[in-house]
A and B are shown apart, each in its own frame.
Chain A
Amino acid sequence: MARQQTQIIRLNSVSKRFVVHHDKSLKDRIVGFRQSRRHRQDFWALNDVSLDIEAGTTVGLIGHNGSGKSTLLKTIGGIIRPTSGDVWRRGRLAALLELGAGFHADLSGRDNVYLNASILGLSRKETSARFDEMVEFSGIEEFIDTPVKFYSSGMYVRLAFAVAVHVDPDILLVDEVLAVGDEPFQKKCLDRIEHFQHEGRTIVLVSHSADQVGRMCERVVVLNNGELSFDGAPAEGLGVLRRQYEEGRVRAGVEGERGVPSGPMAIRQVRSHVKESRGVVSVTVEVDVRMRETRPGWGVTLSLDTTLGMRLFEMDTLGLGVSLPLAKGDHTIEITFPEASLGPGVYLVNAALEARDGRTFDRLLGAATVEIPHRGVGRGVLHLEPRVSFDGKGLR
């Protein structure tokens, strides 16, 4: 089925180098003229990123801090000019990189609405036409003529968000601003975004919230040190990101000996198998462990997460009272869940090796994925077998 694809954003091997000057004042520059090279430090915030975004899609940009996702968003928005490469774009764009950018504390809410709308590209007439709608959305009708410096922070962002969602963009760039206000307002915002999606607007979103990305995006782009390391389905993308986090943590050596290759034992590989027979699913996880020295009293900890990062289940073999092999060498530990009541979808398996005293020898997050087929009725992470009856008569 050949579907006509309309691209709206095109990035062609975009790179961005940042030069950090440590000398900002005239004195520093004159005094340090000769060493001025030494006072500079540059790094590539984006390295050869190519990306096509189709109109009407919602794309999540994820990555750890400093991976370049905000820079990429700003490059798309034209706020930052790439060092090399090209950015092509069409249609009206609104960038929500910071709510209330340009709000002036001394001006009234009304004045700020007009100013902010103008910054986001609305004409005065268009703003007037939507003004009431914006104010209603923000829910601060009574204070609209009060200077915004008297607003609570919640009111401030609500007004800002209300303006932002009432401009009529083809492309909306969003950077970590969706978690504003109280819960009902957050829901309102997300509903609004969903509405945007239904209207065929293109949304590019930077978020640290796996939940948000998983719920809203149909495509995820993972950046790592300025390079594009994954581009595809959200579930896999989030898995890739979590592995990157883990690598980063191991490299930083945050938790002492864990991940140190010379530790007493290490996880070599984790595999998973799913078997289905007559509606019953069984999951088997195999953990390959290399023991470098003989060590008693250790166990395997296994946990199961949704791709959105929600922990569903966690267990360890120590708690089961199972004794695992003590000898040096390679072993495979097999853990089976004969009747896994998991709903259809992809789940992540995390594995760790721990000692009885709580020390961790090795840990692998997102070590394997488990894909549960659809069976029976219902949706969700749990698989339940419902029985229905009425008036005391059993049916089914």
Chain B
Amino acid sequence: MPHETPKRASANRVARARIASIAELDFEHVGRRPGLFRGTITSIRELWSQRELIWLLARREVKSRYRDSSLGMAWSLFRPLAQLAVYYFAIGQVLGVARSIPNFAVFVFVGLTGWTLHSEIVSNSTKSMIVNSGLVKKVYVPREVFPLAGVGAALFGLLVQLVVLVIAFSLLRDFPPVGGLGYAVVSIALIVVFATALGLLLSALNVYLRDVEHIVEVMLIVLFWGSPIVYSFSFVHDTLNGGLLEQLYLSNPVTLAILGLQQGLWAGSVDSTVSFAPANLSTMLAIALAASLLLLWIAQRVFARLQGNFAQEL
């Protein structure tokens, strides 16, 4: 029987009330290996309760990126615009691609918007565990919040680019048909889901093997050319003639999403006789989205298994 010391608080009422309220609670099993399905529900519930934190972390990432620069947020506009200018002149005018693609500037910008979203999500979240290692080692929060905050920061970039796009449309007085907007929404959703799944997996792997983030950087540069961003799908179709390689080309969800974005936001897709997208694009988008959701679930489960050792591996 522990002896009563002045330090023991049981004498006072506030303390007794608190202890009594704790007696009502159920014990939770800390750090248990999660089951496949029950664990999913727990994870979703945990992440939902941390939505404010995800938002704050995403804001921190965006804010700190442009902090102390005198132009601030304006910088987030310059990168896509510079990219646009380079591709427009180098590939469009010098190499002459623009001749076969109407409204080439918008075409490139739409593709770039999709690609930037994808690459930002993947690279932000891959690095997120290392960047936040101080937190991972010292505080328990569901670790998914860090890659998800990276996704949030990338979505901010998307917002900026969409604003630019809208401004461009109004300057050109050339709005895309409203009917195509559904394509754009599904395509963005596809990119977000697919890239988040990749980001979750890669961020967990990066903890164990630091080379992952460098591999990812290189792969993103290479894969940029694997989607019809600065060239059109019709080039691919003409070269591959709908063979197996073309099917392979089209099995990349990012490619499909970019085709969807062009379909939705780029007016050239409507009034042209050339096929800028495969015929059954909407079906393919739906399948890709379903597959990406499955991938996201698997990625989260893998992440949940691996994250138990994050604190010691970092």
Contact = CB atoms under 8 A, between A and B. Distances in A.
A199 B19 CA distance: 9
B140 A77 contact: yes
B207 to A, nearest CB: 10
Interface in A68-89: 74-82, 86-89
Given A119-B141, A200-B15, A216 B31 contact: no
A107 B63 contact: yes
A90 B25 contact: yes
B127 to A, nearest CB: 15
Contacts of B167: none
Interface string B171-211: 00000000000000000000000000000000000000111
Interface stretch (B83-91, B293-301, B305-313): B305-313
Contacts of A8: 22
B60 A78 contact: no
Contacts of A104: 60, 64
B140 A79 contact: yes
A276 interface: no
Interface string A347-362: 0000000000000000
Contacts of A395: none
A106 B68 contact: yes
B7 A216 contact: yes
Interface residues of A, number: 59
A55 B311 contact: no
B57 A200 contact: no
Interface string B14-29: 1111111011011111
A266 interface: no
A293 to B, nearest CB: 48
Interface in A116-159: 118-120, 123-124, 147
A18 interface: yes
B138 A95 contact: yes
A89 B123 CA distance: 36
B74 interface: no
Interface string B24-65: 011111111100000000000000000011001100100110
Interface residues of B, number: 51
B243 interface: no
Contacts of B67: 106-107, 147
A101 interface: yes
A294 to B, nearest CB: 50
A74 B311 contact: yes
Contacts of A76: 30
A86 B22 contact: no
B15 A56 contact: yes
Nearest to A99: B138
B290 interface: no
A58 interface: yes
A258 interface: no
B73 to A, nearest CB: 14
B95 interface: no
A198 B28 contact: no
20 contacts: A10-B27, A78-B30, A79-B139, A79-B140, A79-B311, A81-B308, A88-B30, A91-B22, A98-B134, A102-B138, A106-B63, A107-B60, A111-B63, A119-B141, A124-B52, A198-B14, A199-B15, A200-B15, A200-B17, A200-B19
Interface of A: 1, 3-4, 6, 8, 10, 18, 24-27, 29, 55-58, 74-82, 86-91, 93, 95, 97-98, 101-102, 104, 106-107, 111, 114-115, 118-120, 123-124, 147, 170, 197-201, 216-219
